[in-house]
A = this chain, B = another copy of it.
Amino acid sequence: MADKKLVEAITSMEEDFAQWYTDVVKKAELIDYTSVKGCMVLKPAGYAIWELIQKQLDERFKATGVENVYLPMFIPESLLQKEKDHVEGFAPEVAWVTHGGLQPLQERLCVRPTSETLFCDFYKNDIQSYRDLPKVYNQWCSVVRWEKETRPFLRSREFLWQEGHTAHATAKEAEERTIQMLNVYADFCEEVLAIPVIKGQKSEKEKFAGAEQTYTIEALMHDGKALQSGTSHNFGDGFAKAFGIQYTDKENKLQYVHQTSWGMTTRLIGAVIMVHGDDSGLVLPPKVAPTQVMVIPIQQKKEGVLDKAYELKERLSKAGEGGLRVKVDDTDKSPGWKFSECEMRGIPVRVEIGPKDMEAGKCVLVRRDTREKITCDLNNVEEEVSKLLDTMQKEMLERARAHREEHTYTALDMNEFETCFTEKSGFVKAMWCGEQACEDEIKDKLAVTSRCMPFEQEQLSDRCVCCGKPAAKMVYWGKAY
């Protein structure tokens, strides 16, 4: 049976989290491997999640004045090299085009790993006067980074993302936009993906190649590892000086612009899997579930059952704001198989309807996350299902937040710090002197990195957890994907 593979047991999370993850992405039919090493196919179930992320994120962008554009996928080598730190960061991992058709190119082109240099080259001509500012542009596209180790959604040689690139008249405005977009990302993660995040600043060591400051949102996965889920960079006028992007201000003086960039990627789908999934498969927050409700007819050959199932689908498709995304599973598989498939695919609510239910004027609703069964009056099904989806969306966030709180530890000295990472797993809050030497030492010893200096600082002690010198900042540390 072609459908059998779906409902075979998958590896349990406790036993082997990495294998569980691989099983889920394959059996929920999110991705497939290809003949192109390190590149994936996003299958319909996976791409549909990305479409929902795109739509809702794009609406939030546009509400802040973002306009979408599209720039070329190729960057001439000389352009990539204009900003020193940037090229050092990216050159080792780009793919190079050397031939167009049958001819060798005069200059190599790299396939964009990110588009700061192209936007700068474009802005250089597009910006002349203060009246041309700000520019708040974004593009949805794919980028390429020649990674050695790849994992579905988390790290692949080509991935889909959005990259915003802005130019402003003042440093203050650029900083405000950097923080504004970080907040858009954080709200999106919490409200749409039901994933709570820590907002903070990256250390010098961890910041983006060419940025003055990098801000990040960090999420905790079910296995206690951290996932960087979105970043927002303030470039100051560094790129503007390297590329000569100047405008005439109101006093007719030439000034450099101040720039930002910010991005989120398909790795968010990986985050959704690893924050919400369980041993039966995927659990999708209703707001990004391509199918929110699956109606499953019981004894579907009995008269009237299929008609009733389709009637429920019709009614639910019009329920809530803008309608729900509903399907009926009328295949000839057994109800048991259908239940398991729904669970594997993470469909938030299933509705069971059979002859006995119809007689009683009821149906059964089952929540994917808690598996709670609710007997529902057929007359109220729109209201009940809409309410259930809202509740589920809210409680998934609360549960993820509780899990993060339970797995966030505090360490005051190196002993405690080591214990946190050897006997437990999660975020560890600890004080840091600000020196890269301590970050390096911690990374070498424990394979742990500074995730961020959170905006919400706490004064845990006045000493660096590593070297004991005076502390500058509290840092979230973690093992990262």
Residues of A within 8 A of B (CB): 2-3, 32, 34-36, 39-44, 47-48, 50-51, 67-76, 79, 92-102, 109, 111, 118, 121-122, 125-126, 128-129, 131-132, 137, 141-142, 144, 146, 157-158, 160
Contact call A158/B73, Cβ cutoff below 8 A = yes
Contact call B2/A39, Cβ cutoff below 8 A = no
- Compute how far the CA of A99 lies from the CA of B125 in the bound complex, rounded to whole angstroms: 31
Which residue of B has the minimal Cβ distance to A156?
Answer: B72
- Residues of B within 8 Å of A97, CB to CB, are 95-98, 111
Contact call B99/A95, Cβ cutoff below 8 A = yes
Contact call A142/B144, Cβ cutoff below 8 A = no
- Residues of B within 8 Å of A146, CB to CB, are 100-101
- Residues of B within 8 Å of A94, CB to CB, are 101
Please pick, from B34, B43, B69, B72, the residue contacting A44 in the complex, using a CB distance under 8 A: B69
- Residues of B within 8 Å of A158, CB to CB, are 72-74
Contact call A47/B74, Cβ cutoff below 8 A = no
Question: Chain B nearest CB: distance from A295 CB in Å?
Answer: 19
Interface of A is mostly: mixed
Question: Chain B nearest CB: distance from A170 CB in Å?
Answer: 19
Contact call B129/A2, Cβ cutoff below 8 A = yes
Contact call A36/B76, Cβ cutoff below 8 A = yes
List of 5 A-B pairs having minimum Cβ-Cβ separation, nearest first: A39-B72, A44-B67, A100-B146, A42-B70, A96-B99
- Residues of B within 8 Å of A137, CB to CB, are 44
Please pick, from B32, B67, B71, B79, the residue contacting A122 in the complex, using a CB distance under 8 A: B32
- Compute how far the CA of A3 lies from the CA of B101 in the bound complex, rounded to whole angstroms: 41
Which residue of B has the minimal Cβ distance to A105?
Answer: B95
State whether A72 and B36 are in contact (beta carbons under 8 Å apart), knowing that A95-B100, A101-B146 are contacts in the complex.
yes
Contact call B68/A44, Cβ cutoff below 8 A = yes
- Compute how far the CA of A125 lies from the CA of B100 in the bound complex, rounded to whole angstroms: 31
Question: Chain B nearest CB: distance from A38 CB in Å?
Answer: 9
- Compute how far the CA of A73 lies from the CA of B36 in the bound complex, rounded to whole angstroms: 9
Please pick, from B68, B75, B93, B141, the residue contacting A36 in the complex, using a CB distance under 8 A: B75
Please pick, from B48, B93, B121, B142, the residue contacting A68 in the complex, using a CB distance under 8 A: B48
- Compute how far the CA of A111 lies from the CA of B95 in the bound complex, rounded to whole angstroms: 11
- Residues of B within 8 Å of A96, CB to CB, are 97-100
Please pick, from B50, B51, B67, B71, the residue contacting A34 in the complex, using a CB distance under 8 A: B71
Which residue of B has the minimal Cβ distance to A117?
Answer: B35
Contact call B95/A69, Cβ cutoff below 8 A = no
- Compute how far the CA of A410 lies from the CA of B446 in the bound complex, rounded to whole angstroms: 81
Which residue of B has the minimal Cβ distance to A137?
Answer: B44
Contact call A69/B41, Cβ cutoff below 8 A = yes
State whether A74 and B39 are in contact (beta carbons under 8 Å apart), knowing that A68-B47, A118-B34 are contacts in the complex.
yes
- Compute how far the CA of A146 lies from the CA of B101 in the bound complex, rounded to whole angstroms: 6
- Residues of B within 8 Å of A73, CB to CB, are 73, 111, 142, 144, 158
List 5 A-B residue pairs with CB atoms under 8 Å apart, sorted by A's residue number: A2-B128, A34-B121, A34-B122, A35-B79, A47-B67
Contact call B125/A32, Cβ cutoff below 8 A = yes
Which residue of B has the minimal Cβ distance to A33?
Answer: B125
Contact call A36/B69, Cβ cutoff below 8 A = no
State whether A160 and B68 are in contact (beta carbons under 8 Å apart), knowing that A98-B98, A129-B2, A142-B141 are contacts in the complex.
no
